[in-house]
Amino acid sequence: MTITITAFERSPDGGKGLARDTRVRWVLEEAGLPYNVRPVSFTAMKEPAHLAIHPFGQIPTYEEGDLVLFESGAIIFHVASRHAGLLPDDADARARAIMWMFAGLNTVEPPILELVTVKFTEGDKPWAKDRLPLVRDRIRHRLGQLSARLGDATWLDGAFSAGDLVMVSVLLRTRPSGILDEFPSLAAYVARGEARPAYQRAFAAQLAFNTGAPANG
Amino acid sequence: MTITITAFERSPDGGKGLARDTRVRWVLEEAGLPYNVRPVSFTAMKEPAHLAIHPFGQIPTYEEGDLVLFESGAIIFHVASRHAGLLPDDADARARAIMWMFAGLNTVEPPILELVTVKFTEGDKPWAKDRLPLVRDRIRHRLGQLSARLGDATWLDGAFSAGDLVMVSVLLRTRPSGILDEFPSLAAYVARGEARPAYQRAFAAQLAFNTGAPANG
C-alpha cells in the first residue's frame, strides 16, 4: 500500500532537517518503506482540505490506504510497531522504548519549542531579549538531566530504538542555538543517530526536497 | 504483581486532580487494577533515589515487578495496551487512538503548560502581565482547532479510548483559567470524561491523598 506523507512546501529551516517530516522520513527509511511526499504551503495548511487530515494545521501527516494519521510521534510509533528493529521484542524493554518516545515529545521537546516562541512569535516584544536566557536555562536543565541518565551509554536503553529516533530528532533542534554542544555526551549521542544510514537518506531526501526543483517527493 | 505509582506528597493544586498522577490513577481504575501510591516530597524528587526512577525528577512513576516507567503518557499506554476497553482492536482505529494520546501530550498540552511558566516561574518578571494574554490566546487557538475536530461527537474517534483519557486530562488543566468554559463542546467533552466511574474513583483517591491524614496511598 502506498504511503504518502506531507511536508512543508519549503521548510522554514531551509533544509536543516529540523522540520518534523524528517523524523517520519527517518523511521520510514529505518523500516525500509518507500513513501511519497506531498508538499503543503503555509496557506494550504490552514485550509479545510488539510485541516480534514490534520486538525491542528501542521505537518507531517501519514496516509496509507484508509489510514490517516497526524502527529509525528504517532506516525513513528505506527511504523515502529509493525517493523522489526525499532522496538524491542521483550515486553518490558518495549515499554521503556515507548517511554522514551513520550519523554522526548512531552518532557524534552516543550522547553525547546519555547525557543521559537521567544525568538520568533514574540521576537518583537520588549521582553524577548531578557526572556531568552531563561528559556535557554530551562532547556539546559532538561538536557543536563538527560545527559546524566544517558551516562556513557550508546543509546538510551540497550539497542537503538524508536525512543532514540525521537530523542535524537528532538535534540537536533537545540544545535543551532549552541546548547547541544554544551553537553558533549548528548552531542555525541545525536551524532550517532545522524550517522545511521537511514538518517542520512532521510536527511538527504528532505534537503533535496527543500532546495531542489519544484518539490514533488 | 503489585503496582506502585508515585505522587506529590502534597499536590500544588491541593487536590484539584490536575497533577499527572490523576491520569495514571484513572487508567488504572479503568483497567480495574489495584495500586499503591508512594508519596514523594519536593525535596526527595530531586534526590538520587528518585532520579534513578525518574531522570527528570517528576511524578508519576510506575513500578510493577522489574518494570519501572516514568512519563504519564507511557504509563497510560502500557496499561491501555494490556487491558480491554482502552484501545480499539481494529488496527487503524487503534493507531488513531494512540495518535490522540500523542496529540494531547505533544500538541495540546505544551501551550497549556506555558500558563504555569507565565504565572509562576516568571510570575515576578516585569513582562508577566503583558505576556499572559498571548499565552492564553495560544491555548484558545489550539482548543478552537480541537473543538472544530470534535464537532458534536461524544469522543474523539468512536468509543472512549486512552486517547480521550489523555485529552480530557490535559484539557482539565485549562478549567481554572476559565478558558475551557469558553469552548462549550470541549467543556461538555471533559464533563463526560469526569462522569466516568473510573475517573470519579481516581479523583476521590487523589483528593483523599492530598487532603487526608499522613499520605500513604
Interchain CB distance below 8 Å, A107 and B66: no
Long-range residue pairs from B108-113, CB within 8 A, at least 24 positions apart, any chain: B108/B142, B108/B143, B108/B146, B108/B167, B108/B170, B108/B171, B109/A106, B109/A110, B109/B170, B109/B173, B110/A109, B110/A110, B110/A113, B111/B135, B111/B138, B111/B139, B111/B141, B111/B142, B112/B139, B112/B142, B112/B170, B112/B173, B112/B174, B113/A110
Q: Are residues B110 and A110, on separate chains, in Cβ contact within 8 Å? A: yes
Looking at CA atoms only, how far is residue B56 from chain A in angstroms? 6
Write the CATH number of the domain with boundaries A91-196.
1.20.1050.10
Q: What is the DSSP letter of B72?
A: H
Provide the pLDDT for residue B18. 94
Pick the CATH number of A3-85+198-211 from 2.30.40.10, 2.30.30.830, 3.40.30.10, 3.10.129.10: 3.40.30.10
Measure in Å the smallest separation between the Cα of B120 and chain A Cα atoms: 13
C-beta atoms of B55 and A149 within 8 A: yes
- Residue A94 has which C-alpha cell? 518495549
Give A-chain residues touching B66 at CB under 8 angstroms: 92
Task: Note whether A92 contacts B: Cβ–Cβ < 8 A.
Answer: yes
State the number of CA atoms in the 13 A half-sphere of B143 facing the CB. 28
Fold of B91-195: Glutathione S-transferase Yfyf (Class Pi); Chain A, domain 2 (1.20.1050)
Whole-number pLDDT of residue B213: 53
B74 min Cα distance to partner chain A (Å): 5
Which chain A residues have a beta carbon less than 8 Å from that of B97?
Answer: none
Q: Is A59 touching B (CB cutoff 8 A)?
A: no
What pLDDT was estimated at residue B108?
A: 98
Question: Is it the case that residue B155 has pLDDT exceeding 70?
Answer: yes
A107 touches chain B (CB under 8 A): yes
Is pLDDT of B217 > 70? no
Domain positions in chain B are 3-85+198-211, 91-195
Task: Express each pLDDT in B157-203 by its tens digit.
Answer: 999 999 999 999 999 999 999 999 999 999 999 999 999 999 999 99
d(CA B154, CA B184): 13
- pLDDT of A150: 98
Cβ separation A145–B56 shorter than 8 A? yes
How much of chain A exceeds pLDDT 70, in percent?
98
The answer to whether the Cα torsion of B6, B86, B82, A90 is positive or negative is negative
* A134 in reach of chain B (CB within 8 A): yes
Mean pLDDT over A37-62 rounds to: 97
Give the mean pLDDT of A206-215: 80
Mean pLDDT calculated for residue range A144-165: 98
Q: Would the pLDDT of A216 be above 70?
A: no
